[in-house]
Amino acid sequence: MIREISAMTHFLRSLALAALCAAAPAAFAQTAPAAPQTSSAAPAGLYQALGEKAGIARLMDDFVNRVVQDARIRDHFKDTKPQALKESLTDQICELTGGPCKYEGADMKSAHADMQINKAHFNALVEVLQAAMDAQRIPFAQQNRLLALLAPMHRDIITVR
């Protein structure tokens, strides 16, 4: 029974990720660049559902620790200071989800321009984020809300087609 529930959860998560990726081309087909999402466009209650800034900081700590160890993507972060990345991502997610933080880092296109990121790298990063969210016991529905909020960044992060 537990194995069946685990398999179903994995299937549903994969289905949600596939839906996000399938929906992405339509969202990315705009001719004008989309304005970055701000807290005014954030899904209601997502910041609170993630545990506010402290919860987001725990999530980003776990996430970055996993990213720098993941063989598929760690080379992209070899020149990155993990603590600085954790703090920057915490502010970015905090702001995007409606929190009081102010992200002052580079825009996603500039930050990833020279990183040679392809779709497989991006998908690996999403998988690592999902694993971190699972480890932090973030409910599936809230995971999907966060992933949906982050999905539009796809076009600025993937630099190799």
pLDDT of residue 75 exceeding 80, the answer is yes
Residue 4 Ramachandran class (φ > 0 left, ψ -120 to 50 alpha, else beta): alpha
Q: Name residue, tokens 């998908």.
A: 123
d(CA 18, CA 140): 15
Q: How many CB atoms lie within 10 A of CB 110?
A: 10
Q: Which CATH number fits domain 46-157: 1.20.1050.90, 1.10.287.3510, 1.10.490.10, 3.40.50.720?
A: 1.10.490.10
For residue 84, give the H/E element and its range.
helix 82-96
- State the Cα–Cα distance between residues 67 and 117, nearest whole angstrom: 14
Distance in angstroms (rounded) separating the CA atoms of residues 144 and 41: 16
Residue 1 reports pLDDT greater than 70:
no
Helix (H, G, I), strand (E, B) or coil at 80: coil
**7-34 residue pLDDT tens:** 444 444 444 444 344 333 333 333 333 3
Distance CA 45, CA 99 (A): 9
pLDDT at 41: 62
Please compute Rg for the chain using Cα positions.
15
| Assessment of whether the complete model's pTM goes beyond 0.85 | no
Share of the chain above pLDDT 90, in %: 60
| Span 133-156, pLDDT tens digits | 999 999 999 999 999 999 999 899
